[in-house]
Amino acid sequence: MSAPVAPGGGLLVVGDVVTDVVARHTEPLAPDTDTAARIALRPGGAGANVACWAASRGAAVRLLARVGADSADWHRAELRSAGVEPVLRIDPELPTAMVIALVDAAAERTLVTDSGASLRLGPADWAEELLDGAGHVHLSGYLFFSAPGRELAAVVAGSARARGLPVSVDPASAGFIRQLGVARFLDAVAGTDLLLPNAAEAALLSGRSEPALAAAELSARCGGEVVVTLGAGGALAAARGRLAARVPAVAAGAVDTTGAGDAFTGGLLAARLSGADLPSALAAGCRTGAAAVAVVGGRPR
């Protein structure tokens, strides 16, 4: 097993680029009539968000994703402006993935997702030279919810390990994990060096509701480190079946929690690539997550 993150080198993210429609409403959604909201169009996607937040924290980042021709130029420009090297494969038929994020008065969001072109990101989109200069590879969990994505994840993970590079996975969606099946998902991510679920995903994957126990269970099963984000409770990490670190959250004035977990991951990975130890990296992730909830959308502004 390689180190959870190897200090030095850049970050390769393989995942999704999404067009986010963020609707912030202060009143409960009213059936059969209008609900007033402030609506914004933002670039998003779990993989792309991680890449942008990591770049904002000083990491050199490359992103592989698949988009539609409808918005490829816009997304490429947004990624470059965030300091990310975009490697975008253009789907000839499907549009870019789109998410409607309904954000309530407490800044909590509900997501409605059309995965679009991202569902067809697969082995044909891979090139070994994408690993050149990388010190760590991060796989968005959304890869694992399509057959081509699972095949690609296996290819990328195998290539990374052949070069001695560690691999991390963000499980991404408890709802999609349920549809795929917990056992299938765990089999697909077996051997991952760093697993990054939120509390709900950790509970689903481990069968344990208490986050520290869930993290310990998953770390024993997967063989690597497991970091669980706890929202206002901060974050904790387990390794080899035992709790290894825990840090508090950073206070923030939340306006939109969209992408907070992605920001945490980007901040943590950037810190580890710079040589930070695990508790320091957890703290860096919490600081980055706090910055994320203070802006609308899932990217740094």
Structural domain boundaries in the chain:
10-15+46-92+122-292
Q: Are 74 and 43 in contact (CB under 8 A)?
A: yes
Q: Return phi, psi of residue 197, to 5°.
A: -85, 160
Q: Binning pLDDT at 50, 70 and 90, where does residue 1 land?
A: very low
**Pair of tokens at residue 136:** 């760590």
157: buried, middle or exposed (CB in 10 Å: 19+, 13-18, 0-12)?
buried
Q: Are 41 and 20 in contact (CB under 8 A)?
A: yes
Q: Report the CATH fold assignment for 10-15+46-92+122-292.
A: UDP-N-acetylmuramoyl-L-alanine:D-glutamate ligase (3.40.1190)
DSSP state of 24: E
pLDDT at 291 over 80: yes
Q: Are 187 and 161 in contact (CB under 8 A)?
A: no
| The residue to which tokens 């974050």 are assigned | 235
Q: Binning pLDDT at 50, 70 and 90, where does residue 7 land?
A: low
End-to-end CA distance of the chain: 37
pTM, to two decimals:
0.92
CA distance 236 to 216: 10
Measure Cα distances from 78 to 73, 82, 213 in Å: 9, 6, 40
DSSP state of 49: H
Residue of higher predicted confidence among 29 and 90:
90
Bridge-partner residues for 21, per DSSP? 41, 100
Q: Are 132 and 106 in contact (CB under 8 A)?
A: no
pLDDT at 172 over 90: no
The pLDDT value recorded for residue 160 is: 98
Beta strand pairing call for 38-44 and 18-24: antiparallel
Residue of higher predicted confidence among 131 and 299:
131
Over residues 292-297, mean pLDDT: 87
Residue type, 131: L
**Pair of tokens at residue 222:** 């997967």
The string of pLDDT tens digits covering residues 69-85 is 999 999 999 999 999 99
Over residues 180-209, mean pLDDT: 95
Coil vs helix vs strand at 291: helix
